[in-house]
Structures are given as structure tokens and as C-alpha cells.
Structure 1
Amino acid sequence: MGASTTTRTLRTLAAAVCGGTLVALAACGGGTASSGEGGTIVIGYSGPLSGGAAAYGENIQVGMQMAVDDLNELGVTVDGGEYTVELNSLDDMYQPNTAATNAQRLAEQDDAAVIFVPHSGGIQAAQELNSGRSEFLLGAYSSDPAILETDNPLTMMVPPSFKSYSAPFVEKLKTDGVEKLGLLGTASEYGQSWTSLVSEEWESQDGEVLTDNSIDYSTVSDFAGPVSRTLSEEPDVIFLGGPSQPTALIIEEARGQGYEGSFLIMDQAKFEEMELFTDPENLNDSIGVVPVREYEDPGTEAFVSAFDELVDGARPATSEVSLHYQSVALSVKAMEVAGTIDDPQAIRDAIGDAAGQVDEQFHVSGFPTEVTDAGHLRNEDFQAAYRNSDGEYEFLPIEHAED
């Protein structure tokens, strides 16, 4: 699985010609050098490729480009024509209006029938466009359930809804003698939605929710004060989460101040990333999302190795990378099944049938086994990860929340 040495070399040379960056590579339209008889399939991407969220956006871009390269190695045939897949990326700096403008440009100028956006605000802005004049299938990467509440007929929601996590996360940690929940989540709208869900679930199980000490993870760097205020109420469990780096530093601060309890970590933060920023032992006795490397899907090991080689071991492959890798492959297979590269509705309608035909090398982190009527990709073996006191992962089955 993974890109061949030759493909990686071509990709490196293309990046050098374009300016030596991942952003430049995408602008040049990665993939293989030659075009098949059918022409080119453009997959669009609007994401944060500069600013504070650039690392997140570039990780996603790498996963998408890996899928494009691997698809081109395997060969893509739609309605008898052979096609080369190309990734066209635009920077939206995490701004919803810019994401919508980018999506319109990718659809109308680049003829992208499928466009991915990895943040809730940009997704909802793009949903106002994609079933009107600028038709395109929207690959929505956010766990915000509001994405599906719009009843947009051309949306494909990629990750699980965060509504699915609150009950099983609380059930795992709300054991006998565990009563108090401290709140240190991110102050963003997304984080506050999570905070409300977890608080309601904790109280429904007869627990006490303490003072909300949510933090703006994007601007605050000194976490000692909020952590100290939270610990002064003697919580048994602390809810927190946002980007992995500040989440890890808050955990480190809490451990440093003597906290020995559990952490309930929202899905934005990833165990494998947090390990880069704190002693991994600080993460013990915590529940969160499953690290990609822990999956046993057929393509996982090769995918993780290929990503590690591409980034020279600088960072781990997370679910943002792996789920985009999978969903790009699924989108292209849906084109093959539908027999069209430019009819978004036909492509959307073919996703369910296509899911059972995607090559196993793209099955890396809970590959979709179904797509709901609302367009939500789901894996029937959905799980969470509890990192126990020995630093070993225990996996808990989770039921998907209703769309």
C-alpha cells in the first residue's frame, strides 16, 4: 500500500519546482505526471494552510494527496475512460466565508465535483452554495451534528458525530465514588457544545458538575490559573480538549499540580499527538478517540508507515489524515460506480455501493460500512479508547447517535 518510491520521488520533485511546500505542491496539482484517455478528475480542498491552524490543514492535505497518488498507481476508470486524479487546494485560513468562496471557485473554475472542507463554519457556509448554482458534493470533515441538520442533499459527513461520545465516555469514568466533574474545555462554540453535552450526561448519572473554567485554547498559554481554580474544587474527573498541543499542556499542568484523577478528552485532541507534548504517562487514566496506529484495518500498518516516511517521523498520522485518505478513495470509487465524474448527485447516490468496492489498502481507520440517508459515513465497529493506568489502550464499543 502507500505510494511507491517512484511516486514519492515525483511528488518531491513537483514540490521543489512549485516552491518546496505542501501548499505549493497541491497548487501544482500532485498525482502522476501523465493523464489517461479520459482526462483528469479534480478533487477540491479548502482548508487552513496558513495561520494558527496550518498544521491541521496541511496534515489533511497530506492524507488527501497520499490517496490521490495511490489511486493513480492503481488506475481509475470511469465509464470506459482512464483518468488521472488531481488534488487542487486553496487556503481559507479557517474562515467560513473564504471557504465558501474557495469551494465555488473549485467547482466552477476547476470542475471539482467533490470538495472537502475540514471545519464546521466553512462547511455550513459551503452548504449554502453546493446544491444551487455551484453544484458539488461536499466532503464535510467535522463531528458537529449541526452539519446534518441542514438536510443538505449533497453533503457527505466524514467523521462520527460528537453526540456519540458523551454517554459512553461518562459511563466509563463515572464509577462508584466518582462524583465531581471539572470543566476545562476549549471556549470555542464547538467546545461549548461538547461541554454542554458532557455536563448534561454527567448530571443525568447523578454526578455533580463543577464551575466551568473553559479556556480560549487559541490565545491562552498560561494554564496554571484555570487549572488551579478547577483543582480547588477537588474534581474526580476533568473534561477538557481542543487542539492536541494545548490539551496536552493543560494535562501536564494538572498532573504537576498534583491531580491524580481521570481525564475525559473531546475528539479534537488525539492521544498520539498529545504524546509529543507531554510525558505519555500523564495521559494515563483518560478516555478519548482511538489512535490511528491502534486500528487493525487491512491498510493501517502500511498507511502509518507511508505517512511516517513522508514527514520524516516528525508527527504521527491522526484521524484527520486517515479519514481524508479513506474518503477521497471512496469518492473516486463512487464516480466509477456511478459512471460519472461531474454529476455530484449521482456520485452521492453511489457512495453506499462504492463503500464495499474500495481497495482494502484504503481501509485504515474504521472504513465506512454504511452511509445514512443524511449522508453520514459510518463504521459498524465504532470504538473509543480508554488509556489505563499502565498506558495500555482498552477499546470500548460505541453506538452511533441518530443523525
Structure 2
Amino acid sequence: MAPTRIRSGTAVAAVCTGLLLATSACGGAGGSGSDTIVIGYSGPLSGGAAAYGQNIQDGLQLAIDDLNERGVTVDGEEYQVELASLDDQYAPNTAATNAQRLAEQDDAAVIYVPHAGGIQAAQELNSNRTEFLLGAYSSDPKIVEQGNELTMMIPPSFKSYVAPFVDKLTQDGESRLGLLGTASEYGQEWTKLVTDEWRGRGGQVLSDNSIDYGTVSDFAGPVSRTLAENPDVIFLGGPSQPTAVIIEEARRQGYDGSFLLMDQAKFEEMEEFTDPENLNDAIGVKPVRAYDDPGTDDILDLYAEKVTEEQPLTSEVTLNYQSVAIVVEAMQQAGSIDDATAIRDAIPDAIGEVDDHFHVSGFPTEITDAGHLRNADLEVAYRTPEGEYEHLPIEQPDE
């Protein structure tokens, strides 16, 4: 079946970006009316990262649809929530321009950006020129190190994963680490953290064969060079599809060791691109379907019904879905739809008031002083050599 209205919204968003049309589908110029709450979004809706950007938009839209169906009342007035989306093609400068437009023309008090460069550009804007709460979807720990008081960081920091991942994969004396991560800035920061942790345990870090996952399609050479050094564990990860292809190539070339996966790669997506047995003896992010939160089953059904049955639901969708419910509840707690500071200040109380329906994949139990939504019971997934998922609790570092 063809995807429903959520997927078709991508075309509208892209047109709005290119032609700067002021239509109701784009959120409207100057806001959509006194009875409307506008949630802004600037993300990659075309180009190589479009699938990722669409996942974020799907999560936002699913939450907005659910909230509108349930009814939203702020300070005694009923509101409809709308999503205003603009395409930034993963470009930080475009993200900042889009954020300014969404805040100043569409009256969005909350704006989501799902890439570190765009988030940092938007932080420059909301701390100096235009006030809005920034929904930051990136695991880069630098986001909450900026001291920006109007940032809400949504996913776990990838710093949380490094030590427990290394712990799990060195239990049997493994000492040689091969490097096949993505060559992006995000990938290199991950690589640095992992190599520092590995060396700190007395292990040996082999040659860095990082790859540009967005442009390289023949992975046989980098994989061969990595395997020639006889690693016990291979660190890799980027988008799920190329990550799965690299894993498959490593298995094809005879590698039978472990994989340490960056958080961008998702098991449930990689299972679509390679024999799942190739993923055995690997540690990474816990699949959404493995959660047993009150709303997990509902969001799995909702995603299949309204978005697609052809691809798995991932945390890019669900974490953003949860966060919109928190933001709108914070507006209700603050009694304001447009005071970004008051909305941010109300988030600690709002977290405990969000309906269980929106608790779908590790719902936050707190927001730190630095602005990070965190779950005290964070878990990751180790796929055993037998192909079963083992869920491991991990601690998140202080900020």
C-alpha cells in the first residue's frame, strides 16, 4: 500500500522550502491563527539524508495527530497543533535560516533540528536573536555543553554507550580493535571516544579504515585491510543500510568476531539489509519493538497504519514522538504557547504528567539542568552468537 498522509507531507515541506510559500500546509506566514500551536521542524527532507529526516518528521506528526485527537487546552483555551516543516538538506546554515523563519514568520515557539551542525547554528540564533525552544535530535554530547538554556536534547548522548559497549565486548579477553566507522565529524568523535576507552583498558587499536558511508559503495577494500590485522572486535556504524552491507562483507571474508555499533545504526533496520545471523555477537541500540512501555504496542500499530508497513519503526520516530507530548504538556503547565523560557522551565513537571500512551521507548524520567532528556533505566542491546537479544542496563554520565 502507498504511504499515508505523513509520508506525503515531505513533498509539501520541500516545496515550502524552495518557493517560500505561505500556505496552511507549511504552517502559514505569521502563524496559522490564535487557536493554533505551531511546532517547527528543519531537517533533511531531500538528498542523501532524506530517509532520516523523514523519520524525524513522522515522529513529530504522529504525536501531533494523537494530541489533536485527545484535545489540547492551554490556559483555558483549546488549540490545534500543527507542524511546519522546512527542508535544509542537512546544511547547518540553511537550518539556521529555516529556524529564524519558523520562529519569526510562523510563530513557532518550539523548533526541532535533527543534526549537530544545524543544532549548533540554531543555538547561536536562539541565544542571541530570536527566542525559541530548540528540540535537538542528535546524540553529540557537545549539544548540552554549550550552556544554551533553550535547548532540549532528545536522544541519549553517545558518551553513555562507549564504556558499557567496551565492557561487554572485552569480557573474554578480546584486545584488538579494528576501526571501520563513518568518516563524518560525528563518526570521528565516536571513534576518538572508543579508541581512548579501548586503550585505557590496555587494548590495542589497529589502523583507522574509516569510510565515507555516504559516497563509498564498494566496501571490500577497507574491510579486507581491517581484517588483515586480525581484529577481535570491529567498531563501525553510520546509516543502517551501509553498516549492514559492511557487516555482511566482513562475514563473507571470514570474520567471526564481534561488532561494536555506533548508535546511528539500528538493529531492526540492518535486519532488512542482511541475513540477521550476520549481526550476531554485536552490541548497539535497543530495538523499539523490544520495549514494553505502556504505549509501545500502540505506536508500532500506529506507525504501520499511518506511515508504512514496509520498514521497521526506529527510535528516530519514537523519541521525537515522546518529546512532542512533553513539549505540549509543558505549554499546558506553563499556561503559555509562545513563552519559550516558561515552556522550558515547565518541562521537569511536565514529564511526570504526560499520558502513558506517549511512553513508547524509554520515556524520559528527567531533564538535566543542561537540557538533556534522560531515562534512568536506559538499556542497550547485545545480539548473542545464537541470535537472541540480551538487554543491558547502562548508566549515563554526569553533565
TM-score band, normalised by shorter chain? over 0.9
Q: TM-score, normalised by structure 1?
A: 0.93
Give the share of equivalent positions with the same residue, in percent: 71
Q: Does 1:274 align with 2:262?
A: no
- List per-residue Cα deviations over 1:260-280 (Å, max 9, x = no partner): 000000001000111111111
In structure 2, what is the equivalent of residue 374 of structure 1? 370
Separation in 2, partners of 1:151, 1:177 = 40
SS in structure 2 of the partner of residue 165 of structure 1 = helix
Shift of 1:225: 0.2
Q: Does 1:389 align with 2:377?
A: no
Shift of 1:21: 4.5
Aligned residue among 109, 112, 115 for 2:108:
112
In structure 1, what is the equivalent of residue 117 of structure 2? 121
- List per-residue Cα deviations over 1:29-54 (Å, max 9, x = no partner): 499xxxx9960000000000000000
Q: Does 1:201 align with 2:170?
A: no
Separation in 2, partners of 1:287, 1:61 = 27
Letter in 2 for 1:363: H
Q: Does 1:144 align with 2:122?
A: no
Separation in 2, partners of 1:252, 1:39 = 52
Contact 2:12–2:26 at 8 Å: present in 1 too? no
Q: Does 1:323 align with 2:319?
A: yes
Contact 1:270–1:288 at 8 Å: present in 2 too? yes
In structure 2, what is the equivalent of residue 71 of structure 1? 67
Aligned residue among 320, 328, 344 for 1:348:
344
In structure 2, what is the equivalent of residue 183 of structure 1? 179
In structure 2, what is the equivalent of residue 358 of structure 1? 354
Contact 1:23–1:58 at 8 Å: present in 2 too? no
Separation in 1, partners of 2:227, 2:158 = 26
Contact 1:38–1:82 at 8 Å: present in 2 too? no
Separation in 2, partners of 1:23, 1:107 = 22
Shift of 1:150: 0.8
Say which is worse superposed, 206-215 or 120-129, in terms of deviation: 206-215
Letter in 1 for 2:311: R
Shift of 1:178: 1.0
Q: Does 1:336 align with 2:332?
A: yes
Q: Does 1:24 align with 2:15?
A: no
Separation in 2, partners of 1:25, 1:181 = 43
In structure 2, what is the equivalent of residue 3 of structure 1? none
Runs of 5+ consecutive residues of structure 1 not aligned to the other structure: 1-8
Q: Does 1:99 align with 2:101?
A: no
Q: How many residues align?
A: 386
Separation in 1, partners of 2:40, 2:320 = 12
Contact 1:76–1:83 at 8 Å: present in 2 too? yes
Write the mapping of 1:219-298 to structure 2, written as runs, cut at 5 A: 219-298=215-294
Letter in 1 for 2:364: P
Shift of 1:199: 0.7
Write the mapping of 1:304-319 to structure 2, written as runs, cut at 5 A: 304-319=300-315
Contact 1:30–1:65 at 8 Å: present in 2 too? no
Separation in 2, partners of 1:76, 1:265 = 40
Contact 1:38–1:81 at 8 Å: present in 2 too? no
Separation in 2, partners of 1:365, 1:183 = 30
Contact 2:13–2:45 at 8 Å: present in 1 too? no
Say which is worse superposed, 94-103 or 128-137, in terms of deviation: 128-137
In structure 2, what is the equivalent of residue 135 of structure 1? 131
- List per-residue Cα deviations over 1:43-85 (Å, max 9, x = no partner): 0000000000001101111111000000000100000000000
Separation in 2, partners of 1:227, 1:237 = 13
Contact 2:103–2:130 at 8 Å: present in 1 too? yes
Q: TM-score, normalised by structure 2?
A: 0.94
SS in structure 2 of the partner of residue 71 of structure 1 = helix
SS in structure 1 of the partner of residue 128 of structure 2 = coil
